[in-house]
Structure 1
Amino acid sequence: MRDDAKPSDDGAPAAGDGPAGDGEVRRSGRVRTGPARVTIKDVAERAGVTKATVSKYLNRAHGYAMAPSTRERIRAAIQDLDFQPNPLARGLTRSATTTIGLVVADIRSQFYPELVHSIQVATEGAGYTLVLGSSGDDPARELDIVRSMAHRRVDGVVLVAVRSASDNIEYLRQRGIQIVLASRDLPELVADTVVVDSLAGARAAVRHLRDLGHRRIAHVGGELTVKPFADRRRGFELETADLAGRAELPAATAASTIEGGRAATRGLLDVERPPTAIFFATDTMALGGLMACADLGLEVPRDVSIAGFDNVTVGELPGIGLTTVDSDAARVGEQATELLLRRVLGSGDADPVLITRPAELVVRTSTAPPR
């Protein structure tokens, strides 16, 4: 303390005496004490490495090589000190925020949990934070979400909702934000895309119903402006083109929800000569189909066989046993994230990449030969 410094009542130096130390915040001539903020320097000292090495660890998504033992010491130091990096500050030094956006059509759909989880695991494993937006199948809402993510300066966006994707992709590109499409594609390859083969999957499902002996097969599909739904409709049409009486069972279009599938199924079954089997464009709609059968007092598969598309987890439950096409959501999410991070890090291919994963039919108890 300086000779002319006057102590306060508690013996502490008067405000304004000397520089504030770690843990002190000086405002309006008053000193407030509190716990010191842990810095990279503290982590480096605890781990016995340089600050530059800690920085490389924090930016591991950029592929810095580091000995496993060194990485473990830094990880332990971060945990012991409860160090919280500032992602915005890190992003400003690299013109990035280490944040990835994910836009889905409707988070209520049974299809999305596995896809979202796989993307979250992949992004966080690479040192990024995931920001999720659900458009509710509303193009205007989707655009609002995309704009919000652009304002947050995300490094890249995974688009699963693609009703207005062409506009969204152009909007993001103009702002230097990388894009990849997952699970849904567009008629033109305008960005890296990872999908399952919807056409082949639909054909496999309908062929399975035909092999069981069904000839009166109906289809409940989604909006044909969504390419995967259009492909699944096309697969159904190709496999039923030679069936007599197909015109009596026109394909129905419904919202990709449980209630959408329920209403469409009631319309198909509540007629004089109903179909003996129904192929749904999504498992979510197929679950609605099962409810409609219960509403009408019909048994599945004794009265009507039901097949879906996606292989959602709930379809495996006893009492449901939904025959379906596996959309391979987890692997689609992983590969989409891998492609996006390559773009973010500047190591992607010059032209857009399309990865089409094979569709696998999963046969369970919801399908059987017609009576």
Structure 2
Amino acid sequence: MQKTMRDDATPEHTRRPTIKDVADRAGVTKATVSKYLNRAHGYAMAASTRERIRAAIQELDFQPSPLARGLSRSATSTIGLVVADIRSQFYPDLVASIQTAAEAAGYTLVLGSSGDDPDRELDIIRSMAHRRVDGVVLVAVRSESDHIDYLRRRGIQIVLASRDLPELVADTVVVDSLAGARTAVRHLRSLGHRHIGHVAGELSVKPFADRRRGFELEAGDDAPVATAQSSFEGGRAAARSLLDVAEPPTGIFFASDTMALGGLMACADLGLRVPDDVSIVGFDNVTVGQLPGIALTTIDSDAVRVGEQATELLLKRMLNPADAGADPVLVTRPAELVVRTSAAPPR
């Protein structure tokens, strides 16, 4: 006899596996499977039970719905990450470290890049809030706390990584930008440079403001400064404006490695050799700056450890109710000089 199928029935080989299917295959209850799926939240389970569930999930190719899981416990096992510009050389190590730490705790990372546009940044944050993310790591914030207030009003935990605000309004992990800038200028002075310029980032971004202040404390308020957007072309144009004059600086400190890479191109544009004619020091220690043909002397922003610590702080807030409302903490990591060959004594 030929089998008939109702119009609303789904063929067994195309039906999406459910938690009940996993539970039946593993010989456990649906509640036990749910606890396994939410293992980041501290549920205890025997190793043999965990292995049976894992094998059943793999055999059935079961894909749990993050939203369905979230509706059952007011969470979605997702963490949002907002960066200023994903094209920047600075972000890969930071993003990778946050993703690794989040996934190790059972969370999926949702990434948004604002293109350094505050309005777009807020749009991304709103979108993440609508997705019911459990927490957000902000790297793209400017000198305002409106975005943080928006998330906090919706019960979403926040941490700032590698960017800080004038006031401590959320857990923050940064490198010491002011001290790092002073170290960069002192290094150029130790090489014999006396006429030192600075390519500064936008002062609405506090780390860039701190780096400019650190430069001025060492080089003087009257030292030449050109301000630019933290991009390759921004650094290129700003460096040209400093160098294409009658008495150009013999050394330049750049507020970011991305701008410093543009500075290298500006020197090539003007027929100047690095470091014979101009010494260059950056800030961030991006991977491309380590290549032999570039060998950029720089200040290490410690992006990997900053990302790891920021994620640790966020998870602590999210997973421990007693910590959720505690006062925010500031973690300031030391800024270490990395000496390569782009800076040398002036001729």
Q: CA deviation at 1:176?
A: 1.1
Match of 2:342 in 1: 366
Could you tell me which residue of structure 1 aligns to residue 70 of structure 2?
Answer: 91
Query: Do 1:183 and 1:194's aligned partners in 2 also have CA atoms closer than 8 Å?
Result: yes
Distance (Å, rounded) in 2 between the aligned partners of 1:194 and 1:67: 36
Match of 1:309, as an amino acid? F
2:8 equivalent to 1:33: no
Q: CA deviation at 1:178?
A: 1.1
Which of 241, 244, 248 is 1:267 aligned to? 241
Q: Tell me how far 1:69 sits from its aligned partner.
A: 4.6
Give the Cα–Cα distance (whole angstroms) in 2 for the partners of residues 301 and 47 of structure 1.
65
Residue 124 (structure 2) aligns with: 145
1:353 to 317, 329, 345: 329
Shift of 1:231: 0.7
CA drift of 1:347 comes to 4.5
Matched, 1:82 2:71: no
1:299 partnered with 2:278 = no
Q: What residue in structure 1 maps to residue 313 of structure 2? A: 339
- Per-residue CA shift, 1:318-367, capped at 9, x if unaligned? 11000011111111111111111222222526100111111111000101
| Secondary structure of residue in 2 paired with 1:102 | strand
The alignment yields a C-alpha RMSD, in angstroms, of 1.7
Instruction: Please show how residues 121-140 of structure 1 align to structure 2 within 5 Å.
Output: 121-140=100-119
Q: Secondary structure at the match of 2:284?
A: coil
**Are the counterparts in 2 of residues 286 and 306 from structure 1 also a CA contact under 8 Å?**
yes
- In structure 1, list runs of 5 or more residues that go unmatched: 1-6, 16-25
Matched AA of 2:288: V
Residue 109 to residue 55, structure 1, CA distance change in 2 (3 Å): same
1:37 shift after superposition: 2.9
2:233/2:259 contact within 8 Å kept: yes
Q: 2:181 is matched with which residue?
A: 202
CA distance in 1, matches of 2:306, 2:167: 19
1:170 aligns with 2:146: no
Do 2:199 and 2:254's aligned partners in 1 also have CA atoms closer than 8 Å? yes
2:251 aligned residue = 277
Superimposed CA distance per residue, residues 286-326 of structure 1 (whole angstroms, 9 cap, x where no aligned partner)? 00000001111111011110000000000001110000111
Q: Structure 2 CA distance, aligned partners of 1:39 and 1:286? A: 53
Structure 1 residue 119 corresponds to structure 2 residue 110: no
Equivalent in the alignment of 1:3: none
Q: Deviations over 1:92-137 (max 9, x none)?
A: 0101111111111111111011111111111122111211111111
Match of 1:190 in 2: 169
Deviation (angstroms), 1:166: 0.6
Is the CA contact (8 Å cut-off) linking 1:143 and 1:164 kept in structure 2? Answer: no
1:152 CA displacement: 1.3
Change (3 A) 1:55 1:32: closer
Instruction: Provide closer, same or farther for how the CA distance between residues 39 and 206 of structure 1 changes in structure 2, counting only shifts above 3 A.
Output: same
Q: Which runs of 5+ in 2 are unaligned?
A: none
CA-CA distance at 1:266 after TM superposition? 0.6
Conserved in 2, the CA contact under 8 Å of 1:142 and 1:164? Answer: no
Tell which structure's C-alpha radius of gyration is larger: 1
Q: Work out the percentage of aligned pairs sharing the same amino acid.
A: 80
- Cα separation, partners in 2 of 1:205 and 1:72, compared to 1, 3 Å: farther
Q: Distance between the aligned counterparts of 1:59 and 1:139, measured in 2? A: 35
The number of residues matched between the two structures is 344
* Partners of 2:197 and 2:251 within 8 A in 1: yes
**Conserved 8 A contact 1:139-1:164:** no
Matched to 2:331, the amino acid is I
Deviation at 1:68? 4.3
User: What SS class does the counterpart of residue 294 from structure 2 fall into?
Assistant: coil
Secondary structure of the structure 2 residue equivalent to 1:325: strand
- Give the deviation of 1:64 after TM superposition: 2.0
C-alpha displacement at 1:67, in angstroms? 4.2
Q: What SS does the aligned partner of 2:123 have?
A: helix
User: What is the deviation of 1:205?
Assistant: 1.1
Match of 1:310 among 267, 284, 287: 284
The residue identity in structure 2 corresponding to 1:291 is M
Aligned residue number for residue 61 of structure 1? 40
